[in-house]
Amino acid sequence: MPLVPILGIISCFGLMATLPPDTWIRLAGWLVIGFAIYLGYNRKHSALQREAGGE
């Protein structure tokens, strides 16, 4: 049984559980910004879009 990876996952979740709420809010904000950049870049550079005649 992979004991070390399981203990690592449990300890990471334990550390995450002790983070203050403002840290989680900042994380959500950065995730939204990153997702918007990702979608914007993919929309412009999509191979499927080029095949469909979008560019």
**pTM value?**
0.63
Residue 18, pLDDT score = 97
Give every CB contact of residue 51 below 8 A, 6+ residues apart in sequence: none
Tens digit of each residue's pLDDT (9 = 90 or more) over 2-55: 999 999 999 999 999 999 999 999 999 999 999 999 999 988 777 776 676 655
Residue 53, pLDDT score = 65
Q: Hey, what are 22's tokens?
A: 């403002």
Would you say 31 and 25 are in contact if contact means Cβ atoms under 8 Å apart?
A: no
Residue 14, pLDDT score = 97
Q: Taken in order 45, 47, 48, 49, is the CA torsion positive or negative? A: positive
